[in-house]
Structure 1
Amino acid sequence: MAENESVGVKKEKKENGIQYAVFEDRGRQHKAEKGVIIYIDYRDDVKDGEKIEFGNVLMLRDGEKVLVGQPTVVGAKVIGHILCASAKDKKILVFKYRRRNRYKRRRGHRQKYTEVLIDEIITG
């Protein structure tokens, strides 16, 4: 074993300065970091390039400080803008089949979603 190798010492994670928030939008929770693209459920009331604000922040981390809301963090917001208002996911094929009955059904589904780029997280 070399002299510079240490046994039983855990290396620190480099997440110390990361700021992120967990917010709720339409019944789903999303983790947001500045500069990251997130995919939320489709919204027909927004357009491309429009600013969007999420105020229902459940948890907030700013460096070493962690704030957990009861139920939400007061004054915290996640602000972003819409990259694509009506993006579509890959097509999923659903195939129903019953043997010996000549019964077959093939159906496709494409889920719509909205792409949001997170611009900033306000701690309040």
Structure 2
Amino acid sequence: MYAIVKTGGKQYKVAPGDVLEVEKLEVEPGKKVELEAICIVDGEKVEADPAKAAKTKVEAVVLEQFKGEKQLVFKFKKRKNYKKMRGHRQNLTRIQIAAVGSAKADVKADKPAAKKADAKPAAKADAAEKKPAAKAAAEKKPAAAEDKKPAAKKTAAKKDDAEAKPAAEKKPAAKKSEAASEDAE
């Protein structure tokens, strides 16, 4: 399992146990830091949506704060006698990836237990509410059945009209094809 994390404006591919040099993080050596995941790859499953991947925890331990190697900056303009040599040492942090784990699995494991405990009292309350509603529904059913009978007759009449229309539409189409074959002869 590995992840693509974003820190210091750059992206890194990390797996548990990797040691990285990243832009300076304001954390003391020995402390843990959580990095922002952009993409998670777990065998065959790939989660490339940054919103969903951000839910996964990528923990790292800060090993040390240090300065990187000197980077030379040389400015030069030909025929102008302009030369400037400057150097720069970037502040960096060396980290070791402790774990690339899923926060979703931990949350899912906690939720079902909480739901089961809360579900029993809620189920009793729902059952008590449903009994009066069931009685009211039983009283309304005969009135609703009377309304449906005339509606069934109307739909049968509509079906007859619908069947008649396509038959009428088909006849002119057949005549056109016959007329076209006569003109061709």
Match of 1:20 in 2: 2
- Which residue of 54, 60, 71 maps to 2:40? 60
Q: Residue 53 of structure 1: CA displacement?
A: 0.9
Under a length normalisation based on structure 1, what TM-score does the superposition of the two structures give?
A: 0.71
What is the percent sequence identity of the aligned residues?
A: 33
Q: Which has the larger radius of gyration?
A: 2
Say which of 32, 40, 46 aligns to 2:22.
Answer: 40
Greater share of residues in helix: 2
Unaligned runs of 5+ in 2: 104-185
For residue 77 of structure 1, the aligned residue among 57, 60, 63 is 57
How many residues in Structure 1 have an aligned counterpart in Structure 2?
A: 103
The answer for the alignment partner of 1:112 in structure 2 is 91
Unaligned runs of 5+ in 1: 1-18
Deviations 1:64-108 (A, max 9, x none): 2222224342530100100112x2221122222334544321111
Gap change, CA 1:33 and 1:102, over 3 Å in 2? same
Higher strand proportion (structure 1 or 2): 1
| Closer/same/farther in 2, CA of residues 97 and 27 from structure 1, 3 Å limit | closer
Whether contact under 8 Å (1:59, 1:67) holds in the other structure is yes
Structure with higher RCO (Cα < 8 A, 6+ apart): 1
Residue 39 of structure 1: CA displacement? 1.9
For residues 53 and 94 of structure 2, the distance between their equivalents in structure 1, rounded to whole angstroms, comes to 24
* Aligned AA (2:96): L
CA distance in 2 between counterparts of 1:62 and 1:96 reads 47
Q: CA RMSD in A?
A: 1.9
